[in-house]
Structure formats: C-alpha cells, structure tokens
Structure 1
Amino acid sequence: MRVVLGQFHEPTEELLLFARQLGLSGVQVNTPWLPGERRWELRELIALRRQVERGGLTLEAIENIPQSFYQRAMLGLPGRDEELENVRRTISNVGRAGIGILGYHFCPLGVVRTGMDGRGRGGAEVTSFDLGTAVDPAFAGRLLVARRNAPRSEAGRLGKDDFAAGGYPDLGVEVSEEQMWDNYRYFLEAVLPAAEEAGVRLAIHPDDPPVPTLGGIARIIRSVDALARAAELVPSRAWAVELCLGTVSEMGGESAVLEAIQRFGPRDQIAYVHLRDVRGTVPTFEESFLGEGNYDPLRVIRALRESGFDGFILDDHTPRLVGDSEWGHRGRAHAVGYIQALIHATEAATQASTEADAGLATA
C-alpha cells in the first residue's frame, strides 16, 4: 500500500513538488483539463503522463472523464451509442498512454451537499448533507452540486469553485432506479470489452450522498449490496470499485466500510481507496478529520491489508484548516501524514507477525 496525491485537474510544478516533499511517489489526476469535446486523444494523454514523470512521480490513475462525454449514456437518451463509441476510444487511448486505471461515476447529478461552512474541530470548515434540506424546494437556491466539468482556474485544483449553488441542474428527464440499472448495464456492456483489451481497470465511485434519488434521478450505487450487484452485472476483470470510504461510511458507518473491504478486497476488485470519513450516516452527516468520524482508521487499514489490497490510497476531501488554500494544502498534508503513519505502523506489525510465524515453523 502507498499514498498518492490527488484531486486536482492539472499536475502543476507546485503540486508535484508538494507531493515529493510529502514523500509520495505518485499522483492521481481528477478530470484533467485536456483538449476534446467528446473524447481524449492519445497525444494529450501521453503528454499528461510525461508531465507527471518530469516531476519525478508516477501517474497512477485518472479519476473521471468529463461528464459531457457520457451524459446521454447515463440518462439513457438518444445519442448514447455515439457517446459510448467515444468513451471506448478514450479508454483505448488511456491504456495506450500507459495509464492503468480510469475512475468514473454513474451518477448524473454528482456530489451534492447542503452546506460547506460547517465547523469541525477547532472551527475547521467541513461540508455537510441533510436529506430533508436537500429535497426542500425552499432551499433549492442554496443547494450545492458538484460540477464535473469544472471551469479552469489558475491553480488547477479542486476547490469551492467546483460546486455550484442554485439547485439541481435541469437534465430534462427523470430516471427510475431500474431504468438507471438498465442504463448502467448497457454502459458496461459497451465499455468493459474495450477496457479489457486496453489493459485498463474501470473503477466506479459510489454515489455521494448515497440516497435513493435526488432531482428526479435515481442514485443506484448507494450501498455495499448495490456495489456487489454492479460487480456481477457484466462480469469482467476490468470492473473495479474506487472505494471511497467516506461515501461507504455515509451508507452505514464502520460496519459498512469493513463489509465493503471484506467483499471486494479478496476478489482484487478494489482499484484504489479514498480514505476520508464523516460523522453520521444518511440521511444526515458531516465530513470530519480522520479519527473523529464513524470508523477507526487503524482498524480499516488493517482490514485492507488482510484483504490483500496492495494499491494506492489518497485523502480525497479534507477539512479546511485556518489559513488554508482553496485546494486545502494544510488539511491534505495532515491527512497524508496520518495515512502514511497508519500504513507504516500496520506494515511493521505485519512484518513482525510474519517473522514470528516463521520462527515458530522453524522451531
């Protein structure tokens, strides 16, 4: 297991230097700003990888393609076959560029929050969600919805400008749960063969928040059982889960987190892990510092080791500390150091246990 730096659109020299100073060897880029209205081309993907490598790091994965690449496919609208052909081309190009993991979501409305000015430990800013508020028409103008095609900013990082207030976007259609499952099956049937051929693992992010529906659009990847259903929908070695432990914690706290690890780890279906947490579960929760949420981070890292997971971990969202940047340098540095210590501690314990077992066998 290892920690990488992620959740930015562009691997700037400053961010790559920050990663190296934290002792990291790799990064993950979220919805990189690459040319292309319908798909990404090989040349630009190779340039992205080389940009990271020039900074002395490895590009471990890309998380998310622009939602506009496959919006009709998610909604089951006419024109989805053309979109899916472009998604296949993108996947092929990702593999040819030497990038082995492509994370994605299947949630047209994306991440939703009802607040971004909650107060955590010492007054640190944390995001929050309340289902009652989210479905209240009187609150619609203040609802915060993540923009998957976020505007370019000078820093190239995810921040508050990636959320837009003003209610749910009008997607022009309502989609039931079974319709969404049918759309997901259609999507997988179209793209998994391309991923297998390209040697790319497609890693799905659970729906955040994991509630049945918002804005008339069903949210199907909202439980550990739903993830298991998704895994069996179109069996493929290219299917994997982008195990966002914060979102799984929103589903059912530590028990849900440990269940997900136990179900997908031994099957080698965890592509990578977002290690963050919340306090509370749906219908109401707020994000928190590691160690103050629903699960015990040490127990979770041990469970990941025992499950056979040997991939990378990143911090994902973090509380915003006093004097922090828009992207959250201080909060992320704290989270990265915390995770590094957990990995080191459990690695040492595992090694000691192995040596003890070897000694017993020799005796």
Structure 2
Amino acid sequence: MRMTFRWYGEDNDSVSLEQIKQIPGVEGLVWGLHHRLAGEVWTEEEVMEVKAQADKQGFHLDVVESINVHEDIKLGLPTRDQYIENYKESLRQVAKVGAKVVCFNFMPVFDWTRTDLYKEMEDGSTALFYEKAKVEQMDPYELIEQTTTSGYTMPGWEPERLKTIEASLKAYETVTEEDVWENLGYFLNEVLPVAEAEGIKMAIHPDDPPWPVFNLPRMITSEKAIERYLSLSDSPAHCLTLCSGSLGANPNNDVPAIIRRFHDRIAFAHIRNVKIYDNGDFIESSHRTQDGSVRIDDVVKAYHENGFTGYARPDHGRHIWNEECRPGYGLYDRALGIMHLWGLWDAYELVKQKEEA
C-alpha cells in the first residue's frame, strides 16, 4: 500500500506541503489543476509548476484526481468528440510528470451530494452529512447555494461549472441510465488506448451517494455495477478507484467482499468510514471501525491479504480541534486516519510474518 494525501495546491488549500511531509508514510500527492474547467486542456507549463512544488518536499505526483469529464461527454452530445480529444491531450500532459493513475467519475451534474458540510457530532467535531429526506424534498438549487458557502471551491461544485447547472439538469430529463452507460463506453473506447500508451490507469470513482439523486442517473453503485463496468474493456488501463465511503453508504454493499473480488483491478483506494442511520441518513465518521458502519479493519485486511501495492489515501475527515479548512479536507483528522490505517496494516503484516516463520 502506497500512502498519498490529497492536496489542492498553493493558495487553494489550508494544508501545506510542509505539514503533509510530517505525516508518517506519505510519499505522494493526489493533485489536480482545480482552476481548469471540465473540457479544458491541462498545459505542460501548469503541470510542471505543480511538479516543481512537489519536488521541494520529495513527493511524487503519481495520482491525479481528477481530470473532470465534460457534461457533453456524459450526455453523448455531438460536441463530445472535441472534449474527448482535449481529455486525451491532458492525459499526455500529466504523463510528463509521472502520473500513473487518473481518478475520474462519470456522475451526471453533481460529483457528490451532502446536505450539511459541518454537521456537529456528539464529541463536538463536525463532518459532512447526508440527510435523505431533505434531499428527496429540496430543490437542487437550494443545495447548490449551501454547498458553495464554505469559502473554498469544492470538487465538482466549482462556481464556473454551476453557472450551467440549469441547462445540465434540463438536458438529463430525457437521458436514461442506459444512455449514460452507452456514453461511458464511448468515452472509454476513445481514451483507454491513450492512457495505456502513456502508462496511466483510468480508475473510475463510485457514485456518491450510490443511488439516484434529483432523478439523475447513477451507475457505479454496487458490486453488480462494478462487474458490468469492468466488462466494458480488458485494457490494463481500465481500473477502479475503490471508495469505501461512497459504496459503504449503502449497507447492502459488502465493501471488503468487493475488494477481495476486484482487488487486481483496484488502482487507487479511498479509505474512509461512514455512520449510517436507520432512516437512511449518514455522516462521515472517523476512520476507526467502531465509529462508523463500514468494517475499516476488514477493508484494510482485504487489501493486505491480497498484497495490494496500489495507491491509497484517507478520504474525507472530520473537522476537529477548531481547524478552519475545506469541508472534509483538513489536516488533523486525515492525518489521524492515516495513522489508524498504518496501524492496521502493520498489525496484519506482523501476523503474516509470524505465520510464515
């Protein structure tokens, strides 16, 4: 397991590279050009600038999250071909700084959905929260307004992207889930050969949450859906980002079992916990197994017993110790999460060594 940490760039993150450097076992940054809109080409000058920043602290840039897929590609519009060509060029550019994995998603309109960015927990910390009944009753524009008031640009909720939200929602009124699957296949057929030539694994992220929101299609939601997705291509560049929190929000998803079945296709692991309530609400808890509903101990065990050598990162953390940060992306709780994951990994490694002795 190769530990990484998501970083949004200089002047766009409350966490510095100097701070990340002090977290044991972190070897690389999960990065992106967050000022670039979906469909725009990432330039060599820009990616080299990030590399120069990472080099100062000895971090690699093996994992990109993410080169966003333009909505016209997901909708299958005639304009998609130019945006796909732009995507291919961006892949070629990130390969120049050593990128080996590109985490992406194909979620229509909204990359992820929460109803409260700072829901207070029993211990006084706050975390990202999803209230099921509220989503079912609220207008999507109300959700947009409250999600863009944190002071930081949120991935998938960038102001420029939201300017076209009304047109996007309208466009999906006649688009079915099967249509989106077909459009996803078209996209992969075009980009996978380029990714393979550049030594990059295209690792799709599950839908978050793993069920339809605002009547929009959702595809990567379950073990069965992952099986269908992986059957679309036998290219070695065709892989998964396995997010235990996204899939784990549905209690019917056995995340450790999914890891054991598809471990050889997982290029990137997002490891986080969620606490699910009986009414369907969920909140993002600490990484500790007992604090949530996902068996994080078994998640790590599933990776360890299958000799996982891919990249991992702690995903969303709580906001603790009065830290002011991008929602879900502070320093303290993600650093604690890393140490919990390393503790589990080291324990399983010790057991293995004893069994082999």
- The answer to whether the superposition gives a TM-score over 0.5 is yes
* C-alpha distance in 1 between matches for 2:20 and 2:125: 23
Which residue does the alignment assign to 2:188? 188
Residue-pair matches, total: 343
Distance in 2 (alpha carbons) for counterparts of 1:21 and 1:76: 45
Correspondences of 1:209-358 after superposition (within 5 Å): 209-211=209-211, 213-252=212-251, 256-265=254-263, 268-280=264-276, 283-290=280-287, 291=289, 292-327=291-326, 328-355=330-357
Deviation of the 1:60 alpha carbon: 2.6
What is the TM-score when the length of structure 1 is the normalising length? 0.84
Q: Counterpart in 2 of 1:26?
A: 27
* TM-score, normalised relative to structure 2: 0.86
- Whole-angstrom distance in 1 between the partners of 2:14 and 2:116: 32
What per-residue deviation string (whole Å, max 9, x for no partner) do you get for residues 198-227 of structure 1? 11001110000111x223420111112111
Q: 1:49 to 1:75 in 2, by over 3 A?
A: same
Q: Following TM superposition, by how much is the alpha carbon of 1:2 offset from its aligned partner in structure 2, in angstroms?
A: 3.2
Alpha-carbon distance, 1:12 to partner: 7.6
3-state secondary structure, aligned to 2:165 = coil
The alpha-carbon deviation at position 297 of structure 1 amounts to 2.0
Q: Is the 8 A contact 1:168 1:215 kept in 2?
A: no
| Identity of matched residues, % | 26
Any conservation in 2 of the 1:113–1:127 contact (CA below 8 Å)?
yes
Question: Is the 1:208–1:247 Cα contact (8 Å) retained in structure 2?
Answer: yes
Q: Kindly state the Cα deviation for residue 189 of structure 1 after the two structures are TM-superposed.
A: 0.6
User: Over the residues paired in the alignment, what is the CA RMSD in angstroms?
Assistant: 3.1
- CA drift of 1:160 comes to 12
Q: Hey, what does 1:61 align to over in structure 2? A: 63
Quickly say closer, same or farther: Cα 1:320–1:144, change in 2 above 3 A: farther
Contact residue 23 and residue 335 of structure 2 kept, 8 A = yes
Give the distance between the partners of 1:245 and 1:145, measured in 2 at CA. Answer: 26
Q: In the alignment, is the contact (CA less than 8 A) between 1:5 and 1:24 conserved in 2?
A: no
Name the counterpart of 1:358.
Answer: none
Verify the 8 A CA contact 1:160 1:326 in the aligned structure 2: no
- The 5-angstrom pairing of residues 101-140 of structure 1 reads 101-108=101-108, 109-137=110-138
The C-alpha deviation readout for 1:216-274, integer Å capped at 9, x for no partner, is 42011111211111111122110111111101111336x62112101111xx2111111
Amino acid at match of 2:256: L
Shift in Å at residue 284 of structure 1? 2.6
Q: 1:25 to 1:17 in 2, by over 3 A?
A: same
Cα deviations across residues 278-336 of structure 1 (Å, max 9, x unaligned)? 11279432211122111232222111111231122211101111311214222222212
Structure 1 residues not aligned, in runs of 5+: 356-363
What's the counterpart of residue 202 of structure 2? 202
Matched-pair contact (CA < 8 Å) for 1:100–1:199: yes
Q: Which amino acid aligns with 2:98?
A: G
Match of 1:49 among 51, 61, 82: 51
**Displacement after TM superposition at 1:66 (Å):** 3.7
Q: 1:10-35 CA distances to partner (integer Å, 9 max, x unpaired)? A: 49896221122112342333432466
Gaps of 5+ in 2: none
* Superposed displacement of residue 3, structure 1: 2.1
Kept after mapping to 1: 8 A contact 2:112/2:156: no
Q: Aligned partner of 1:89: which letter?
A: E
Paired AA for residue 171 in structure 2: V
Secondary structure in structure 2 of the residue aligned to 1:271? strand
